[in-house]
Structure 1
């Protein structure tokens, strides 16, 4: 990768950049449906991953991050037994919201965004 986080090769098309952004923003389905934060990025990625390597990479990144957030949320729920989980779950929600918005914007700009603190199960 170059210094500006662009993937090697030609820049992704406008359509590819938009679908990559939708992969990240599909996580907001979790606000309306249980497990929507996992299903949204999974569905968009599965439908559009063959469109462009950029969409494939960003779809995997979005799904990996949402899996990480779901696992962290489960840990926070368990920690509610000792009260600290309430605070941690709130911080997790704010962090996930901010990072998802940043990732969507960067993907729409054609930049290869990598979430910090992300467990990358899908390679």
Structure 2
């Protein structure tokens, strides 16, 4: 009897939390808030339990925020409504990763509202 392709998923809530918190690199360095979580997700999605679900949620949030920013920029000419959109994107992009990092540390699934399912 031969065992082939047996993978054991490890439970690492700390890595899941760190993956959510790396989205905040946009606010610290100006870049990296999309690339770093993407690299962590792609490198550990087959070895960490729950990483695939959390990684997809993070990428969907980042792509949705980018789309909202692209829509808000021309909307600035429309009575300044784009400024409210940009402010909303900044607040949501800062608060939701922190909330979901706490959820990941407690072993709960992520919940990002207002995201479009790209991945």
Task: Please report how far the alpha carbon of residue 37 of structure 1 lies from its aligned counterpart in structure 2 after TM superposition.
Answer: 2.2
Establish whether residue 58 from structure 1 lines up as the match of residue 54 from structure 2: yes
Under a length normalisation based on structure 2, what TM-score does the superposition of the two structures give? 0.82
Greater helix share, structure number: 1
**Are the aligned partners of 1:22 and 1:44 in contact in 2 as well (CA < 8 Å)?**
no
Where does the alignment leave 5 or more consecutive residues of structure 1 unmatched?
Answer: 1-11
Larger radius of gyration, structure 1 or 2? 2
- What CA RMSD, in Å, does the superposition of the two structures yield over aligned residues? 1.5
Measured in 1, the distance between the counterparts of 2:114 and 2:47 equals 28
Establish whether residue 76 from structure 1 lines up as the match of residue 102 from structure 2: no
Where does the alignment leave 5 or more consecutive residues of structure 2 unmatched?
Answer: 1-9
Measured in 2, the distance between the counterparts of 1:43 and 1:81 equals 37
Under a length normalisation based on structure 1, what TM-score does the superposition of the two structures give? 0.79
| Number of residues of Structure 1 aligned to a counterpart in Structure 2 | 108
**Are the aligned partners of 2:68 and 2:85 in contact in 1 as well (CA < 8 Å)?**
no
Measured in 1, the distance between the counterparts of 2:33 and 2:66 equals 8
Measured in 2, the distance between the counterparts of 1:52 and 1:69 equals 26
Stretches (4+) displaced over 2 A? none
